[in-house]
Amino acid sequence: MKVAIVGAGAVGGVFGARLAARGHEVSLVARGEHLQAVRRKGLTLVDHVGDASGEYCLAASEAPEDFGAQDLVVIALKAHTIAAMLPRLRRLVADETVVVPAINGLPWWYFHREPGPHAGRRVHALDPGGTMFADLDCRHVLGCVVHFAAEVRAAGEVHHTSGRRLILGEPDHSSSERLARVCGLLGEAGFEAQRSANIRLDIWVKLLGNLSFNPVAALTGYRMDQICADEGVLDVIRAMMHEGMEVSAHYGYPMPMSPDQRIDLARQLGAAKISMLQDIERRRPLELAPVVGSVIELAELARLPVPAIRMVHALAQARARALGIA
């Protein structure tokens, strides 16, 4: 298959390398020193969880316009950069192209084909300009939840540090041929690709971890294992998760687990540096709007108080401003 990875950093680099290892025609959209290194010597994957380590010579560009129509487009950008990129993806997307946003936070397409009073609603924290639904027809989208960890440790060098699980599902909850095809493709590439009939519930399960662990990691400098070993910090995580669970339940997705059970899932990532800590260390903007701000927006719409989430959000925003990355 022809596959374009838009945002070939940590997560995108793992997708690209693993799919290339299975013989697919992979093109990478990247930028800066990372792009230059990939062009010069290929993309290096250091695989700590499998046997896909190697150097992969792949087409790479800063401009998605350089590549033609694709069978599969994986969007692995930071969520706050997607709106500006979507108009540039038009040449990649043909009538049957499948687009998989492998992103953190609540996705911009969340209320697409979601029945009920909020059907088609735009979440302002995700799409402040109101352009994203127009710039990419959501009929191309397959929902995706990423449950693996990766890091860019040097330009052109991606480390897959833990986990292999991906959950994919149709926004309308159907069991489609393209869902089976993409899960099969990713399974062959070494991922544990699971089909979901309720992708929004899976999004909420992941989001509860992201909205709590990520900003706390940015504030404390802790790796995942260090957060999980500090009971005082875990009390903050529990409070944020409890509030997030009330929001998800209000929108029809009650959690099938307690905060402590969700924390136990996070422990499986071991000593991973989760994404906002990586961003703090590299002085890159934090994904606060899609990961935390979106939940606050939905809580306001539902008139639900979320004081712990608001407090940590405010502190993380202040930390970003102090570092000049807000």
CATH for the 201-322 domain, from 3.40.50.300, 3.40.50.410, 1.10.260.40, 1.10.1040.10 = 1.10.1040.10
**pLDDT tens by residue, 258-313:** 999 999 999 988 888 888 999 999 999 999 999 999 999 999 999 999 999 999 99
- Cite the residue boundaries of each domain of the chain with CATH code 3.40.50.720: 2-197
Rounded mean pLDDT of 13-40? 97
pLDDT at 286: 95
Residue 86 pLDDT grade (very low, low, confident, very high; cuts 50, 70, 90): very high
Name the DSSP letter for residue 230: -
Tokens at residue 124, please? 């302002």
Instruction: Provide the annotated active-site residues.
Output: 206
**pLDDT tens by residue, 135-171:** 999 999 999 999 998 999 999 999 999 889 999 999 9
Secondary structure (H, E, C), 232-246? HHHHHHHHHHHHHHH
- The rounded mean pLDDT for the chain is 95
Nearest Cα neighbor of 98 from 118, 76, 125, 71 is 71
- Cite the residue boundaries of each domain of the chain with CATH code 1.10.1040.10: 201-322
Fold category of 2-197 in CATH: Rossmann fold (3.40.50)
Provide, rounded to the nearest whole percent, the portion of the chain with pLDDT above 90.
91
**pLDDT tens by residue, 177-211:** 999 999 999 999 999 999 999 999 999 999 999 99
Q: How far is CA 270 from CA 167, 197, 210, 226, in A?
A: 20, 29, 15, 9
**pLDDT tens by residue, 241-273:** 999 999 999 999 999 999 999 999 999 888 888
* Burial category of 322 from C-beta neighbours within 10 Å (exposed 0-12, middle 13-18, buried 19 and up): exposed
Sole residue written with tokens 């309308």 = 172
Long-range residue pairs from 197-202, CB within 8 A, at least 24 positions apart, any chain: 197/169, 197/173, 198/169, 198/173, 198/253, 199/143, 199/145, 199/167, 199/168, 199/169, 199/170, 199/171, 199/173, 200/110, 200/114, 200/143, 200/253, 201/253, 201/256, 202/143, 202/145, 202/167, 202/169
Residue 326 pLDDT grade (very low, low, confident, very high; cuts 50, 70, 90): confident
Sign, Cα dihedral of 213, 214, 219, 223? positive
**pLDDT tens by residue, 38-56:** 999 999 999 999 999 999 9
pLDDT at 115: 83
8 Å CB contact between 286 and 275 = no
Tokens at residue 173, please? 């909850």
pLDDT at 229: 96
pLDDT at 219: 98
CB within 8 Å of 300: residues ≥ 6 apart: none
Check whether 80 has a pLDDT greater than 90.
no
